[in-house]
C-alpha cells in the first residue's frame, strides 16, 4: 500500500527546503501577476523584482489561485502513484487555492481519496504543518492519522505582522481610501494578527520602535513556544533589535529569521516584520 501523498502550495515555507525532495511533497505554484505578465510562484524565493515592483505600484501586482485545470492535471499525474492525498493549504482568506483544489478533487472522488485542509495560516506556519504531515506519511501513517495531526496543529499556530503602510489593508477592503490616505500621511503602521485564518488589523503604531515593542510583548505572553520564526523584509535592523530583546526572555534559544515571497507580500506589503509562533500541542 502506497504512502499518503502530501500536497501544498507555494506560499508554504518549509524549515528545510530539502524536505520537498526527501518526502516527495507536491507543491502547487500560485499564479503571480506583474502587469501583463504571469508566472508560477516559486517556493522559498522572495522574488526581489516582484517586491520592488510592488513597492513602486502595488496595483500592478497580484497573486492568484492556480486554475482548476492546472490542479486537475496535477491530480491526473499523481493518480499514477498515489491513491490517498492530503492537500494542505494556505488560509482561504489569503488565497483561494484550497477552494480550487476542493473543486478539482470532486472529479476524482471515485479513484482517489483526497482530503483538502485549510490551515488558517501561511508561510512557515503552513510549512511546519506540512513538515509534520510529511513525516507522519513517511512513517506510513494512515490518511486519517495524518489529517488528525494537521488538524491538531492548526489551533496552536499564531501570527502577528507589523506592516509599513495601511495601503495593503486597504487592498483587502478593510479600510476606506480616505482613511488610508490620512493614515499614510501620519506614517501609521498597522499591526495585524491572524485569527481563524483571517488577517485582522489590531493596533497601529507610528514608528518601528513601538512596533518592535508590540511584537515583543506579543511573543513574551506565550507560556510555551515550541517553534518560532521571524518573517522580515527590509526591516533587518528592527528584526535584529527584536531578537536581541528576545535573548533576555528566552536565553540561549535561536529563532530563525526568514523572508517571504509574493503570496504573503500582497497582504503585508514589501516592507514588514512579523512572527509566527507554534506553541505546540497540549
Partner 1 sequence: MEEPSLATPDSPVARAVSAITSQPLDGAPLPGAASGGLDGVAYCDLLHAGLSWLDAHHDIVNALNVFPVPDGDTGTNMLLTMKSALQEISATHAATVGQAAKAAAHGALMGARGNSGVILSQILRGIARSLDDQLTLTGPRFAAALAEGSRIAYKGVNRPVEGTILTVVREAAAAAEEAAQQDPDLSFVVGQTVRAADVAVINTPKLLPVLAQAGKVDSGGKGLFFILEGMYRALRGETAAPVAAVSPPAAAAGAPARPAKGQREIPILVYGFDVQFLLEGRGLDVEAVRADITAMGDCPLVEGDANLIKVHIHVSNPGVPLGYAIGLGFVTDVIVENMDDMHIPAMRPGYDPVPPRFEPPIEPGKSAPVAEGEPTLAAIEGPGIIVVAPGKGLADVFRSLGAHIIVSGGQTMNPSTHDLYTAVQKLPADQVIILPNNSNVVMAAQQAQGLAEGKTVAVVPSKSVPQGISALLALNPHVDLARNIQTMTAALGHVQTGEVTIAVQDAFFDGIAVRAGDVIGLLNDRLTTKGADSNAVVEDLLGQMGAADLEIITLYYGQPVAADEAKALQARLRELFPNQEIEIVNGGQPFYHYIISAE
**Under a CB-based contact definition with an 8 Å cutoff, are residues 32 and 41 in contact?**
yes
Regarding 60 and contact with partner 1 (CB under 8 A), the answer is no
- Give the position of cell 485582522: 200
Cell of 140: 506510513
Minimal distance, residue 196 CB to partner 1, in Å: 11
Q: What percent of the chain is helix, strand and coil (3-state, nearest 5)?
A: 40, 25, 35
Q: How far apart are CA 273 and CA 234, in angstroms?
A: 8
Distance in Å, CB of 210 to partner 1, minimum? 6
First-residue to last-residue Cα distance in the chain: 32
| 80 lies in the site for partner 1, by CB under 8 A | no
Piece in contact with partner 1 (CB under 8 A), picked from 44-52, 194-202, 241-249, 260-268: 194-202
Q: Does 203 bind partner 1 (CB under 8 A)?
A: yes
CB 233 within 8 A of CB 260: yes
Least distance in Å: CB of 212 to partner 1? 12
Q: Per rule CB under 8 A, is residue 210 in the interface with partner 1?
A: yes
Q: Does residue 55 belong to the site contacting partner 1 (CB under 8 A)?
A: no
The yes or no reply on residue 207 touching partner 1 (CB under 8 A) is yes
Angle CA 217–55–45, to nearest 5 = 75
Q: Could you give the angle at which helices 68-79 and 97-106 cross, rounded to 10 degrees?
A: 50
Rank residues 139 and 195 by Cβ distance to partner 1 and give the closer one.
195
Exactly one of 209, 224, 226, 249 binds partner 1 (CB under 8 A); that residue is 209
In the complex, what is the shortest distance from the CB of residue 222 to partner 1, in angstroms, rounded to a whole number? 16
Region of 7-15, 17-25, 139-147, 196-204 interacting with partner 1 (CB under 8 A) = 196-204
Binding mask 160-189 for partner 1 (x = CB under 8 A): ------------------xx-xxx-xxxx-
- Residues β-bridged to residue 198: 195
Question: Applying CB under 8 A, does 48 fall inside the site for partner 1?
Answer: no
Are the beta carbons of 274 and 230 closer than 8 angstroms? yes
Residue 248 φ then ψ, to 5°: -70, -40
- DSSP state, residue 59: G
Q: Which is nearer to partner 1, 145 or 203 (CB)?
A: 203
Interface positions with partner 1 (CB under 8 A): 178-179, 181-183, 185-188, 193, 195, 200, 202-210
Amino acid at each position: 500500500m502506497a504512502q499518503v501523498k502530501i500536497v501544498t502550495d507555494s506560499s508554504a515555507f518549509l524549515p528545510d527546503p530539502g524536505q520537498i525532495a526527501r518526502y516527495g511533497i507536491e507543491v502547487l505554484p500560485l499564479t503571480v501577476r506583474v502587469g501583463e505578465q504571469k508566472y508560477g510562484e516559486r517556493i522559498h524565493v522572495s522574488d526581489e523584482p516582484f517586491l520592488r515592483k510592488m513597492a513602486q505600484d502595488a496595483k500592478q501586482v497580484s497573486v492568484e489561485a492556480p486554475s482548476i485545470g492546472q490542479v486537475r492535471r496535477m491530480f491526473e499525474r499523481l493518480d499514477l502513484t498515489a491513491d490517498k492525498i492530503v492537500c494542505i493549504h494556505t488560509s482561504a482568506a489569503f488565497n483561494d487555492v484550497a477552494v480550487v483544489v476542493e473543486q478539482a478533487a470532486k472529479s476524482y472522488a471515485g479513484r482517489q481519496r483526497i482530503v483538502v485542509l485549510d490551515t488558517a495560516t501561511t508561510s512557515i506556519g503552513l510549512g511546519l504543518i506540512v513538515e509534520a504531515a510529511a513525516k507522519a506519511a513517511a512513517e506510513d501513517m494512515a490518511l486519517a492519522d495524518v489529517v488528525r495531526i494537521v488538524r491538531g496543529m492548526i489551533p496552536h499556530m499564531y501570527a502577528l505582522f507589523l506592516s509599513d503602510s495601511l495601503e495593503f489593508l486597504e487592498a483587502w477592503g478593510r479600510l476606506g481610501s480616505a482613511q488610508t490616505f490620512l493614515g499614510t500621511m501620519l506614517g501609521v503602521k498597522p499591526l495585524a494578527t491572524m485569527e481563524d485564518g483571517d488577517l485582522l488589523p489590531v493596533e497601529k503604531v507610528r514608528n518601528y520602535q513601538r512596533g518592535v515593542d508590540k511584537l515583543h510583548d506579543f511573543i513574551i505572553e506565550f507560556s510555551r513556544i515550541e517553534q518560532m520564526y521571524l518573517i522580515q523584509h527590509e526591516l533587518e535592523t528592527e528584526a535584529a533589535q527584536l531578537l536581541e530583546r528576545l535573548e533576555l526572555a528566552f536565553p540561549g534559544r535561536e529563532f530563525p529569521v526568514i523572508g517571504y515571497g509574493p503570496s504573503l507580500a500582497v497582504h503585508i506589503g514589501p516592507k514588514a516584520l512579523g512572527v509566527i509562533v507554534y506553541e505546540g500541542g497540549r
